[in-house]
Amino acid sequence: MNEIIKIKLKEIEEKYQVKVLYAVESGSRAWGFPSKDSDYDVRFIYIHQSDWYLSIDPQGIGEKRDVIEVPINDLLDISGWEITKALRLFRKSNPPLLEWMKSEIVYYQAYSFIDQMRELEPQVFYSNATLYHYLNMAKKNYREFLQGTNVKIKKYFYVLRPILACKWIEEKQTVPPIGFHELVDTMVSDHHLKREIELLLKRKIAGDEMDLEPRIQLINDFLESEMIRLEAYVKTISIEIDNPTEKLNVLFRNTLKEVWE
């Protein structure tokens, strides 16, 4: 599959006259809990030639789209963000983008762009926004999937992961790792809870049928108490960071020169 993905990325470059800077896996494969039938979710950042940026219409308006979306089939989905869109989202500590930067499944990387982004991450990371994002994701998924007597067991991961990411941010004030295993190992201290989570993870990866089953009360109790606690915590924090816009402008301009000149 890696070779197919690289071929598709090269086709995108030729069709849209862009250069791909960075391409990774996102979603359940990157998180560390894929099922046997999990698809490949490839996400990338790309840059146009200089003339594309030197026009009266800004990128993202009208025909100047700032995304490329190429759904291939049920197994492979590829989409990417134009570099200035990515940097504007980086300035806001956009969690999906931060996850791309943490992905351990890298399909392609060129030039110095992503390394320079990683160097800037501590100056850009805004823990308030990222914590709110993960907490709201956890609450939404919990309401939808885990409140009945019988629940979709595999949906536990889509609540556990954001809750553990919140706990990581609270404790370490850094971007949480993308891998679910690392989050569990670091943030779950209760041995009984960890055993239940690890058993559930083994079942999911093995491809066990995991539709409606009785809820796992130990995990539900943990999630409910953490959501209440984190909801109170997030209201107490107020963190300000210096505006990184000029540094991101410099990164964009330098990348434009590096790639095309």
Does 154 lie in the same domain as 115? no
Structure tokens at 166: 């919140």
Distance from C-alpha of 189 to C-alpha of 171, rounded to nearest angstrom:
13
Confidence tier at 37 by pLDDT (50, 70, 90) = confident
Q: Are 225 and 101 in contact (CB under 8 A)?
A: no
Q: What is the pLDDT of residue 211?
A: 77
pTM for the complete prediction? 0.93
In CATH, what number is assigned to the domain containing residue 33?
Answer: 3.30.460
Does 188 lie in the same domain as 87? no
Q: What is the pLDDT of residue 59?
A: 75
Structure tokens at 238: 């107020």
Structure tokens at 114: 């992503």
Q: Are 227 and 138 in contact (CB under 8 A)?
A: yes
Q: What is the pLDDT of residue 62?
A: 74
Rounded to 5°, angle at Cα 161 from 212 and 109: 120
Does 48 lie in the same domain as 155? no
Convert the pLDDT of each residue in 204-254 to its tens digit: 888 776 778 999 999 999 999 999 999 999 999 888 889 999 999 999 999
Convert the pLDDT of each residue in 38-75 to its tens digit: 889 999 999 999 999 998 887 777 778 999 998 777 78
Cα end-to-end distance, the chain, whole Å: 32
Cα dihedral 201/107/86/252 (nearest 10): 150
Does 149 lie in the same domain as 114? no
Does 136 lie in the same domain as 109? no
Q: What is the pLDDT of residue 209?
A: 65
Convert the pLDDT of each residue in 74-127 to its tens digit: 789 999 999 999 999 999 999 999 999 999 999 999 999 999 999 999 999 989
Identity of residue 146: L
Does 133 lie in the same domain as 116? no
Does 115 lie in the same domain as 8? yes
Q: How many domains does the chain have?
A: 2
Does 138 lie in the same domain as 78? no
Q: Are 21 and 111 in contact (CB under 8 A)?
A: yes
Q: Are 250 and 123 in contact (CB under 8 A)?
A: no
Does 90 lie in the same domain as 35? yes
Structure tokens at 248: 């991101």
Q: What's phi and psi for 212, nearest 5 deg?
A: -80, 125
Does 104 lie in the same domain as 12? yes
Q: Which of 79-88, 176-185, 194-203, 207-216 has the lowest mean pLDDT?
A: 207-216
Does 136 lie in the same domain as 25? no
Does 30 lie in the same domain as 14? yes
DSSP 130-152: HHHHHHHHHHHHHHHHSSSSEEE
Distance from C-alpha of 218 to C-alpha of 96, rounded to nearest angstrom:
29
Note down the domain range covering 165.
127-234
